[in-house]
């Protein structure tokens, strides 16, 4: 059975200085071949207003504004793994 390909979009607040968070998240995912292999696209969208959102195939899987906090270490990785139905 072929695993799905994921289109990931990360929208982040550039004026807030969230670039380091975006780079750390990107590094976490692409350095792990088990997950990176299934990424069809990884789009970074600079924005404003304190946002840090992650969408997978058009579905919002994390929103800093909705939750009132940043993602915990490994939280977004776990959400991607769940999308792939992989064992973490």
**Does the pLDDT of residue 33 top 90, yes or no?**
no
N- to C-terminal Cα separation, the chain: 19
Supply the mean pLDDT for the chain: 90
pTM (two decimals): 0.88
Q: Which residue has the higher pLDDT, 24 or 2?
A: 24
| Beta carbons of 35 and 5 less than 8 angstroms apart | no
What proportion of the chain, given as a percentage, has pLDDT over 90? 70
Label residue 5 by pLDDT band (50, 70, 90). confident
Query: Higher-confidence residue: 30 or 8?
Result: 8
Q: In whole angstroms, what is the distance from residue 79 CA to residue 28 CA?
A: 13
* 72, 32 contact by CB (below 8 A): no
What domains appear along the chain, each with residue ranges and CATH number? 6-84 (3.40.30.10)
């Amino acid at each position: 059975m072929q695993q799905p390909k994921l289109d990931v979009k990360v929208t982040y607040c550039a004026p807030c200085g969230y670039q380091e968070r975006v780079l750390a998240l990107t590094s976490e995912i692409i350095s792990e071949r088990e997950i990176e292999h299934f990424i069809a696209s990884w789009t970074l969208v600079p924005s404003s207003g304190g946002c840090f959102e992650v969408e997978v195939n058009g579905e919002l899987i994390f929103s800093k504004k909705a939750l009132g906090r940043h993602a915990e270490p490994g939280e977004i990785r776990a959400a991607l793994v769940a999308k792939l139905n992989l064992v973490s």
